[in-house]
Amino acid sequence: MELSLSAAPIAPPNNHLTRSDQKLVTHPPTGSVKELASAGPAAIYHPSEETQTVEQPLVAITTWVGRSQSPDFPRYVAITESAKNTLKTSFEAFQSTLSATDPDLASKKYGFTVEADGKLKVLNTAGQLSTSQTQRLTDLLNESTDLKAAASALRDASIDMMDADSPWSGSYLGRYNLTKENFASTIDLAPLLKRAGSVPPQEFSDGLFFNQLAHKGELATQETEAAMLERRAAQRFSAQA
């Protein structure tokens, strides 16, 4: 773009307007305009007032993820399976002896578990035992030292296996908190010893270890996991002492 500059003066614009003979006439406002004029301002702003702000309360959300699966988990699974096979052998021997000594009890359907103190507890799951029969069977179970030892070994191995798993990965057994104190209210050992096809499919499925946990197990929390880790640390310290 080119600019042309000149030193010659530029004449000012015409500042005189042509006079008109037309007269200005005012008109009073109509009704609607008059009402708007008399209504006053719709809002008055006072700058001296402090600005009002609405503050939403902060909500803190804590998410517990939990531990990862231990590299020792497969080893604990193998130990648990071996303990289950040992208990199965001991229980079959007990049932064989019971058929000879107490046939009325041997024909009954029942479950059993391990209490915190290591004693065996009869579970009258099918409702086939009377109170006296339940007590007799409980006494006979606890008189079998091999059966008691095998049942306690399976309980302890199961707890170790679950402690080694994760709540969010692996076999998800870590979702549940299993201890010596709540084992008796969670796991019936008798269904774990059944073979597939020996009982109705639904009964067999309900008796599987994981399904028993799902139906009766205590869900793990951040607090129960912390207690478990503290307990296991104490066990390692005792083993090393």
- Check residue 62 and give its pLDDT: 74
For residue 224, CA distances in Å to 163, 170, 177, 185, 191 come to 11, 19, 7, 17, 27
pLDDT in tens, the chain (241 residues): 454 555 555 555 555 666 666 666 666 666 666 666 666 665 565 666 565 666 778 887 777 889 999 999 999 999 999 999 999 999 999 999 999 999 999 999 999 999 999 999 999 999 999 999 999 999 999 999 999 999 999 999 999 999 999 999 999 999 999 999 999 999 999 999 999 999 999 999 999 999 999 999 999 999 999 999 999 999 886 666 5
- Check residue 5 and give its pLDDT: 52
- Check residue 95 and give its pLDDT: 98
Distance of alpha carbon 180 from alpha carbon 153, whole angstroms: 11
**DSSP, residue by residue, the chain:** -------S--PPP--PPPP--PPP------HHHHHHHHS--S----TTSPPP-PPPPP--------PPPPTTHHHHHHHHHHHHHHHHHHHHHHHHHHHHH-HHHHTS--EEEE-TTS-EEEE-TTS---HHHHHHHHHHHHH-HHHHHHHHHHHHHHHHHHHTS-SSSTT-GGGB---TTTSTTT--HHHHTPPTTSS-HHHHHHHSHHHHHHHHPPBP-HHHHHHHHHHHHHHHHHHH-
Q: Is the pTM of this model over 0.85?
A: no
**pLDDT (tens digit per residue) in 29-80:** 666 666 666 666 655 656 665 656 667 788 877 778 899 999 999 999 999 9
- Check residue 109 and give its pLDDT: 97
- Check residue 49 and give its pLDDT: 56
Q: Which of 92, 117, 94, 90 is nearest to 184 (CA)?
A: 117
- Check residue 72 and give its pLDDT: 96
- Check residue 20 and give its pLDDT: 64
- Extents of the domains making up the chain: 73-240
- Check residue 51 and give its pLDDT: 59
